[in-house]
Structure 1
């Protein structure tokens, strides 16, 4: 897989040695459209989810909508390279009037794939990230759900969820993440120059 991080034209710390104290590490994920498995780090792929465990749902009130996109329409349109057609929002236009809307799985990251990933609570080494597909409040806020797991413990489950529950409509077509595999690449990182300058002044 070809990396997209260009070679630096100069070694910054060789020119400004005082920046070495501010060096950190970051990871570029390099997502590429593909069909990842549940045991891989990915964006938009199947979550490692024990079959008997309830899928997370958002139980807050949601903003009413007038139109949206059916997830299967979005997938078909992407496969054909066209834009999906929108549909009128069914019923009263209020998503999840009973207060239950399934979260959409955005991504999951294993520390075995991304060594720089921060450790979770109680030794957790797998993080799963979800987003409510609907808008909240007058400022159209979003709601996210983050779950930490121990990967080895979770992978010992007898059965796994074949397909998560899915909302019948999405407000925007891009709310359905495109499945991507990841090709993590660790890089040295330096803070913005204002941060380093502020630290030098305070020192």
Structure 2
């Protein structure tokens, strides 16, 4: 009996099988493909990695405004990267403003839409539930009554457009947690 990869055309079956598998299993399969197949590494690199020079972020304005100061953008060089190779980084990042994933090579001054403040409950609409001690500040109520939650930054509700438009921003590597600490009990 031939193995599955020797069958004439198992592509439709494989594509169908990916829809039925849990995400953790698909992730493990992708890890194996990346580890054991140069072609798999190449394809994954094209989707997941990009040259740092391709990344588009909000332009940095020089902090010095004194006369004669250079108006050229500041170029940051990485100390850890070898000089002969172009540094690479993840192509997909998560925005700290809108909390969505974004492609760093497609970022622009109008890519991100977000609110400056978190939404809050319209207490007047839910006054009976609140008086009865019912917690209305939850996702179920947001889905059922999206127009009864609003953003204090602009007064818009959940179904209106966001009030801020700008560049996506990924968390700075220095802001990301580096280690996880566990507490030990003292006897």
Whichever of the two has the greater Rg, that structure is 2
TM over 0.5: no
Considering fraction of residues, name the structure with more helix.
2
TM-score by length of 1: 0.19
Give the structure-2-normalised TM-score: 0.20
RCO comparison, higher one (Cα < 8 Å, 6+): 1
**Higher share in strand:** 1
